[in-house]
Structure 1
């Protein structure tokens, strides 16, 4: 008898979401532009907290622990490639 544990179910769901994100093809100018604006080019959470010139602590880039980080960054990259190669947009606007 094969029981699905919560961890297996979560992993299967996560794998399915990853697959769906990776299989998205960008063919719409407005969608590509929106994705490039909404998905940041670098991790926005990394911070260094300083007081009077001394570093108190650093917050590491939490994006790396996001299980969908690679797929989301890949989606932004696909969108950027579409805008540059197909639409002739300047990539510097989105960096």
Structure 2
């Protein structure tokens, strides 16, 4: 929108449109779009916040539970790969894990499990890396 504001004066003179009216309309459209976007983001955050808090508050106090978490949550995204045909790469599938809205919380849970196994239990965690 900044490009429109900077070049709008020249365009409006050429098309015989009043600058004052166009600038007022442009600013009103920007504000209404920003308000809609802000309310959408608030609603989206409110839906997942209890689930995020629940995952963040999971306490890891059991060795078997920590091992299960480390085995079930992968260290790298399992969906990223190259599709090859006759030795030539046809296309690349990018990592899709970042699209998961709970990705950071799940990775943090895995990290806490690894820290518990290494620090409190004194186990070797190289098998999970």
Matched residue SS, 1:78: helix
Aligned residue in 1 for 2:16: none
TM-score by structure 1 length?
Answer: 0.86
Aligned residue in 2 for 1:74: 108
Pairs within 5 Å for 1:37-76? 37-76=71-110
Consecutive unaligned residues of structure 1, counting only runs of 5 or more, are none
Pairs within 5 Å for 1:1-95? 8=43, 10-95=44-129
TM-score by structure 2 length?
Answer: 0.64
Consecutive unaligned residues of structure 2, counting only runs of 5 or more, are 1-39
Q: Name the structure with the higher helix share.
A: 2
Alpha-carbon distance, 1:70 to partner: 0.6
Aligned residue pairs, count: 90
Alpha-carbon distance, 1:53 to partner: 2.1
Compare relative contact order (CA 8 Å, sep 6+) and give the higher one, 1 or 2. Answer: 1
Alpha-carbon distance, 1:11 to partner: 3.1
Give the alignment's Cα RMSD to 1 decimal.
1.7
State the 4+ residue runs in structure 1 displaced beyond 3 angstroms: none
